[in-house]
């Protein structure tokens, strides 16, 4: 059964709509969740037929909910006005069998008409970011220290090992259904001195490196480098002693803010020195061109 849930955090309100029962509304239909609409940019030449493809971008997504109720029209209309005030931001979550995805929206308008005992509503939602996203982030750990035991624990021998280092310098992240160019968050942790750490996407040979021979960057034990590669969120930060500092100036000139592409994404890490003192985790959320 398909369920649409809208959440308005500004008003601390939420409402779910289904196609099977009134609660107090029933979802008659919904437009804009399965469509994919692109704007194609071309250039033309006066001396040749047609045009030349330049690029394309997904257009703003317009989602329209078609609802109806059977009674308490005034009460229900007032609820929708509070739930969907114009120009406010919310999140729409679609649950369809075992699939759950979400998208942020801004309320464009609400219209209604009455037909004797039934009232119909149209709620128009505009999504500047046209992608649907998984509900939760995925986190991949490439290198870290893993515990050897949990409490309650009885020590049976001297020099019992508290933990061990997991070494995995290559991790494949599969993106089988999502879109291209998915931003990631890379966290590089130092357990000792590290010089000029880097992370590479093997398939494209693209990499991002913090520090160069002429401008080296050093990490000390306890430091973290946080790299964000989203389209509107490309930054490099250093967390040291509880203080976060922007260190994007240390990025090498030949670096790229690597992102996930469709298919295989083999991620590797390295450093000019101290690579065995590195811990790496990657956080990402797959996005889709339709629900």
Nearest one of 182, 211, 194, 199 to 280, comparing CA atoms: 199
User: pTM for the whole thing?
Assistant: 0.80
User: Tell me, what's the pLDDT at 164?
Assistant: 46
User: Tell me, what's the pLDDT at 210?
Assistant: 98
User: Tell me, what's the pLDDT at 139?
Assistant: 94
The secondary structure of residue 230, as a DSSP letter, is E
Per-residue pLDDT tens digits for 24-37? 899 999 999 988 77
Assigned token pair, 118: 């039934």
Assigned token pair, 14: 């939420």
Assigned token pair, 98: 């075992």
Helix (H) or strand (E) holding 74: helix 73-83
Please report, for residues 140, 154, 268, 271, the alpha-carbon distance to residue 168 in angstroms, rounded to integers and kept in the order given.
11, 30, 9, 14
Average pLDDT on 131-146 reads 84
User: Tell me, what's the pLDDT at 49?
Assistant: 77
Strand, coil or helix: 55: strand
Assigned token pair, 276: 């065995």
147 has a pLDDT exceeding 60:
no
- Quick one: residue 205, left, alpha or beta (phi over 0 = left, psi -120 to 50 = alpha)? left
67 has a pLDDT exceeding 60:
yes
Per-residue pLDDT tens digits for 216-256? 999 999 999 999 999 889 999 999 999 999 999 999 999 99
Distance from C-alpha of 104 to C-alpha of 253, rounded to nearest angstrom: 35
Please check whether residue 127 is in contact with residue 61, taking contact to mean a CB–CB distance below 8 angstroms.
yes
- The pLDDT > 70 percentage for the chain reads 90
User: Tell me, what's the pLDDT at 153?
Assistant: 59
Q: With bands split at pLDDT 50, 70 and 90, how would you rate the model's confidence at 112?
A: confident
Q: What is the mean pLDDT of the chain?
A: 89
- The pLDDT > 90 percentage for the chain reads 66
Question: Comparing 63-67, 121-125, 165-169, which segment has the lowest mean pLDDT?
Answer: 165-169
Distance from C-alpha of 52 to C-alpha of 44, rounded to nearest angstrom: 6
User: Tell me, what's the pLDDT at 136?
Assistant: 93
Give the DSSP per-residue string, 251-279.
Answer: B-TT-----B-SEEEEEEEEEEE-GGGEE
Distance from C-alpha of 64 to C-alpha of 17, rounded to nearest angstrom: 13
Residue 108: strand pairing partners: none
74 has a pLDDT exceeding 50:
yes
Per-residue pLDDT tens digits for 40-53? 887 887 777 778 87
Distance from C-alpha of 15 to C-alpha of 27, rounded to nearest angstrom: 12
Per-residue pLDDT tens digits for 149-177? 556 656 666 665 555 445 567 899 999 98
Question: Comparing 10-14, 212-216, 262-266, which segment has the lowest mean pLDDT?
Answer: 10-14
Task: Give the domains, in start order, of the chain with CATH numbers.
Answer: 2-130 (2.40.30.200), 138-288 (2.60.120.860)
Per-residue pLDDT tens digits for 178-205? 999 999 999 999 999 999 999 999 999 9
């Amino acid at each position: 059964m398909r369920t649409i849930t809208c959440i308005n955090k500004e008003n601390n309100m939420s409402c779910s709509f289904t196609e099977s029962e009134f609660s107090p509304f029933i979802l008659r239909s919904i437009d804009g969740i399965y469509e994919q609409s692109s704007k194609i940019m071309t250039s033309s030449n006066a001396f040749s037929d047609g045009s030349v493809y330049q690029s394309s971008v997904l257009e703003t997504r317009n989602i329209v909910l078609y609802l109806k109720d059977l009674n308490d029209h005034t009460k229900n209309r007032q609820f929708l006005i509070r739930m969907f005030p114009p120009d406010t931001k919310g999140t729409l979550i679609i649950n369809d069998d075992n699939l759950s995805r979400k998208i942020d929206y801004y309320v464009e308008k609400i219209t209604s008409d009455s037909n004797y005992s039934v009232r119909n509503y149209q709620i128009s939602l505009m999504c500047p970011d046209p992608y649907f996203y998984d509900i939760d982030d995925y986190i991949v750990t490439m290198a870290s220290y893993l515990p050897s035991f949990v409490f309650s624990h009885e020590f049976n021998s001297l020099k019992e090992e508290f933990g061990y280092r997991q070494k995995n310098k290559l991790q494949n992240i599969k993106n089988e259904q999502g879109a291209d160019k998915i931003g990631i968050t890379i966290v590089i942790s130092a357990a000792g001195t590290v010089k000029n750490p880097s992370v590479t996407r093997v398939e494209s040979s693209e990499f991002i490196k913090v520090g160069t021979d002429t401008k080296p960057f050093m990490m000390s034990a306890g430091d973290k480098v946080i790299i964000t590669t989203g389209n509107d969120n490309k930054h490099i930060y250093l967390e040291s002693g509880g203080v976060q500092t922007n260190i994007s100036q240390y990025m090498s000139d030949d670096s790229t803010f690597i992102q996930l592409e469709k298919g295989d994404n083999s991620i590797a890490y390295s450093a000019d020195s101290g690579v065995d003192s590195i811990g790496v985790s990657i956080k990402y959320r797959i996005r889709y061109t339709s629900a």
